[in-house]
Structure 1
Amino acid sequence: MTAEHEHIPPWYKQFWPWFLIGLLGSSVAFSLVYLTLSIRYFDGTVAQDYYKEGLAINERIAKQEQASALGLAATLRADPATGDIVVDLNGEPYPEQLVLKLIFPTESARDRTLTLEHVRAGRYVTMLEEPLRYRWYLHLQPEEGPEAAWRLTGEARFPTEDEIALLPGI
């Protein structure tokens, strides 16, 4: 009886080694792509004292209850051509300035703080270098920072010619 000697091709001519190398190579390639995307579109870290920030919600609620007790409300108009922002404040008192915080929902680097000057009974005005675009959360306060007595909030998508209501609320 003669034993037939089976011919085995070298490893680089077989399917399975290349399949396994392909799996490993694709996982390395996808990892590098995701690493690049996560570095390029970094969305910030969780606050170090998140517990204190969570407790600050009571202060925000108190500010908005104060605005409601004072009967405050405002309307905001933004001129899409010139970038002028006009706020009409309903209710008393009328501070000399108002602070409008424009908060971009996804990128904190785009957040802006504007100071509006009082021009006459309840009307406040400021100008922007360029008109606003996209969606923003709006916070209107009599002064900047956590020591403000009241706050009105709203949400808007710019450009718009409509009036935006700023009301007491979270």
Structure 2
Amino acid sequence: MQKQTGAARPWYKERWFWLLMSGPLLVVIAGFVTFGIIVRGADDMVNDDYYKQGKDINLELKRDLAAQSLGINAQVMFSDDMRSVRVVDTSAKPLTGTPELLLLHPTRQQGDQRIALQRVGDKLYQGALKPDQVSHWYVRLQDKQGSWRVQSEWLPAEGAMVTLGKASTEQTP
């Protein structure tokens, strides 16, 4: 004698259906989470126009050579609270115009800072920083016309000062 169970249960009340569908459902959810991580954490290091950027490297090298031929050197000193910066022009001839200081993050372009410097002395400039807890920077001093630049790599853990120019031996992007 067979036991009759009565009316058939709807599919959504079957435990085997939910057990078998839980795997694919988790994969779909994980896919959406992964896509969200990719969109929020996009890497700025890849440039779509790499050919044009490669051609521009020659222009950048000309700026470095121009600074070297002009004998431009500087020391950049950061305050302990990372809210201000002083630039001392150590060149033989004083700089003409007002230079600008760039702090370039190695991987996040949105972390870069462009600091407007103001002359406070004969060979002394000062500017304000946005505090950032980064352990590695590329520091670049350049004129606003883009005719010269001096740069170096700076690790804040190694001190609050970086030398730019002839004494700087680091090659930076």
* CA–CA separation in structure 1 for the residues paired with 2:22 and 2:165: 58
Aligned counterparts, 1:82-161, within 5 A: 83-91=83-91, 92-128=93-129, 130-134=130-134, 135-143=136-144, 147-158=145-156, 161=159
Which residue is 1:9 aligned to?
none
CA separation of 1:45 and 1:74: change in aligned 2, threshold 3 A: closer
Deviates more, 1:158-167 or 1:80-89: 158-167
How does the TM-score come out when normalised to structure 1? Answer: 0.73
The answer to whether the aligner puts 1:35 opposite 2:35 as a matched pair is yes
> What's the % identity of the aligned pairs?
25
How does the TM-score come out when normalised to structure 2? Answer: 0.72
CA separation of 1:18 and 1:131: change in aligned 2, threshold 3 A: closer
Asked if 2 retains the 8 angstrom alpha-carbon contact of 1:74 and 1:166, the reply is yes
Alpha-carbon distance, 1:54 to partner: 1.0
* CA–CA separation in structure 2 for the residues paired with 1:125 and 1:44: 30
Post-superposition Cα deviations, 1:87-132, rounded to whole Å, max 9, x if no partner, equal 112212412311111112222122221111222232111123x534
Counterpart residue type for residue 55 of structure 2: L
Deviates more, 1:36-45 or 1:66-75: 36-45
Asked if 2 retains the 8 angstrom alpha-carbon contact of 1:103 and 1:136, the reply is yes
Which residue is 2:5 aligned to?
none
Q: Please give the secondary structure, in 2, of the residue aligned with 1:65.
A: helix
Q: Which runs of 5+ in 2 are unaligned?
A: 1-13
Which residue is 1:4 aligned to?
none
Which residue is 1:167 aligned to?
165
Which residue is 1:61 aligned to?
61
Counterpart residue type for residue 41 of structure 2: Y
* CA–CA separation in structure 1 for the residues paired with 2:147 and 2:45: 29
Post-superposition Cα deviations, 1:23-63, rounded to whole Å, max 9, x if no partner, equal 53443233122111012222348544331111000011111
CA RMSD of aligned residues (A): 2.8
* CA–CA separation in structure 1 for the residues paired with 2:15 and 2:47: 54
Asked if 2 retains the 8 angstrom alpha-carbon contact of 1:117 and 1:126, the reply is yes
Q: Which runs of 5+ in 1 are unaligned?
A: 1-11
Asked if 1 retains the 8 angstrom alpha-carbon contact of 2:137 and 2:155, the reply is yes
* CA–CA separation in structure 2 for the residues paired with 1:84 and 1:68: 27
